[in-house]
Structure 1
Amino acid sequence: MKKLASPILAALLLSSLAPLPSAVSLAPTAAHAAVQPDTIREYTRPAKTANSEYNDRSVEAPVSWLIVEDHRLEACNAAGKCVTYSSHPILRINGEGRTALAHSLDTWSKQEAQDAKKGFDFTYECKKDDLRRDFLKETAYFDYSVIAKWGRVDEHMISFCLFGISYAGGAHPMHGKGGMTFDAKTGKEVGLAAIVSNRETLLQALAAAFRTQYPNREEELFAYDIDKQLERIHPAEKGLDTFSWYMGTRGELVFLYSPYALAPYASGDFTLTIKREDAPRLFTKAYPLK
């Protein structure tokens, strides 16, 4: 399963940017001769309840032994207004035990922090450049990810859906979804190969799910046909490595397709759900439900 990447792919090309110091100054120009340095600050806040109105916060875990927090990094100008921010989720175990899982979640959270820092650096540089040109002075740029939905969480598996969104100027933000699944006992990431029997059966089930869940929308796809589109973005030589997924609360598989994966941005994203009863030949005997 592929990890959720920053929706702004250009951020990956900017890994050579120097780390931001605690206070970064915008370069003075003729129009901004007295610009004061921005203040960079960091803080952590707890996850939201499922019915909370805040969209840039992760959803709290459905079990008491799993703690979710969001770590936020932001730049504020001399007036105290936020000009750029990023945040990423942190997962940790509450209490003793589950040592292997605790170590894996810590490693994952640290990787999320590195990715968030790259996203922050990228959007901050874009914001500074646009301010120099007097663009979008009142708009904060951002790059953040959250745990948007929990799937199966029990003594055998932890599975969830991530949502990431970035805005660095332009007509609209870029967003995407990704899934993550851990073995709750070993702490290891669960690969799709452990869950499904083979790629061909999976593609057939995905095509059937698309036609059921999104009827009369194949003409929107880049290939105008869901079978051809799936073959195009999931080539045989890549095996099962190109799929983004998580397991739902009832053992179903949920596959996530961000804008531009299947169709143009205007078509939005697509979520394809495969229930066990709809594709009995697809699921292996691994991680059975009670």
Structure 2
Amino acid sequence: MHTKTFLSALLSALLLCAPPAAAENVLNDRAEEYAQPPQMLEEVQDREARDWSRSVESPVSWLTIEDHVLTFYDKNDIKAYRAVYPQIELVDDDSSPLAKAFIAWNAEIGTGAWHSPIRTLSEEARSDGYELPFYYSDITPISQWGRVDDQLISFFMEGSSYAGGAHAIPHVDAYTFDRKTGRQIALDEIVTDRTMLIAALEAAFQTQYPGTIGRDFPGGVMETLLEQHPAEKGLSSFCWYMAADGSLVIYYPEAVLASYAAGPFTLTIARQDAPLLFTAAYPME
């Protein structure tokens, strides 16, 4: 199962209370959808030139990606809702376990964009007579490829949802697929122990974000991590992917561990820094 942040999960839970009729396009909005190519790898290196609403191109020739842009227009032909979601395919392969897994994943992601709770909120607000000053959006491209080889495919999706307010709500997803079987890999197949993982994350904060410790974590990083990842959730509450070099990358968007102003945190745990943390599965050759 893919990983969601607390904010994203909370938003989804709250929106479950929305009337089901709103999701049926009761306002007869006009839908428009088209596909666009991802950004080239060299473009992504320039942060100023990067389009964060577009996916990054695949790092290998046997796997392709394109973004689908879905837009709904109201009766006055004004944009009311926009979604951007990726679609992944294997080149000249639609029958292997991995190809079938991506076909199913594409269908899940696409259905989620069409029936997004953000779109429901847009319709509800307009049904109540409210004129939207800005269109609502639900955008989650593939923003970073991790390890992509003959053992697994791992990638990270960073996006945001906007349904009014001062700023968008960040949300992230991360997926790791077994190359041969096509199944999604769980974190407990990669790491040996939750306590050891949290200790490694605390150490990563000390080296990668030394200036944030006293400023953004007055109670200490360990206390914050334990609150974010309670024991009863095991390893299910981490948003993770495996980097190209085999490191484990854990991501926290804005306002999850600290204040919104503190920004996001990306923690990288290298295998050589925590050799006992990693299982024997999916070794680096």
Please classify the TM superposition score into its range, dividing by the shorter chain length: 0.7 to 0.9
Quick one: structure 1 residues 145 and 43, their matched pair in 2 at CA, closer, same or farther if it must change by over 3 Å?
same
Larger Rg: 1
TM-score normalised over the length of structure 2? 0.86
Quick one: structure 1 residues 144 and 261, their matched pair in 2 at CA, closer, same or farther if it must change by over 3 Å?
same
SS in structure 1 at match of 2:64:
strand
Q: How does 1:155-194 map to 2 (within 5 A)?
A: 155-194=150-189
Aligned residues: 274
Match of 1:39 in 2: 30
**1:62–1:150 contact (8 Å) kept in structure 2:** yes
Match of 2:220 in 1: 225
* Aligned-residue RMSD, C-alpha: 2.4
CA shift digits 1:215-243 (9 cap, x unpaired): 13134546621111111111112211111
Task: Give the Å deviation of 1:124.
Answer: 2.5
SS in structure 1 at match of 2:85:
strand
For structure 2, list consecutive stretches of 5 or more residues without a partner in the other structure. Answer: 45-49
Quote the sequence identity (%): 38
Query: Which AA in structure 2 matches 1:87?
Result: V
Match of 1:30 in 2: none
**1:218–1:224 contact (8 Å) kept in structure 2:** no
Task: Give the Å deviation of 1:158.
Answer: 0.2
CA shift digits 1:233-287 (9 cap, x unpaired): 1111221111110000100000011223211222121111001111111111111
**1:176–1:259 contact (8 Å) kept in structure 2:** no
For structure 1, list consecutive stretches of 5 or more residues without a partner in the other structure. Answer: 26-37
CA shift digits 1:120-139 (9 cap, x unpaired): 52342256268x34451xx2
Quick one: structure 1 residues 98 and 220, their matched pair in 2 at CA, closer, same or farther if it must change by over 3 Å?
farther
SS in structure 2 at match of 1:92:
strand
- Match for residue 128 of structure 1 among 104, 121, 126: 126
Query: Which AA in structure 1 matches 2:58?
Result: A
**2:118–2:162 contact (8 Å) kept in structure 1:** no
TM-score normalised over the length of structure 1? 0.85
Query: Which AA in structure 2 matches 1:144?
Result: I
SS in structure 1 at match of 2:150:
coil
Quick one: structure 1 residues 15 and 101, their matched pair in 2 at CA, closer, same or farther if it must change by over 3 Å?
farther
Q: How does 1:15-94 map to 2 (within 5 A)?
A: 16-21=20-25, 24-25=27-28, 38-50=29-41, 51=43, 53-77=50-74, 80-94=77-91
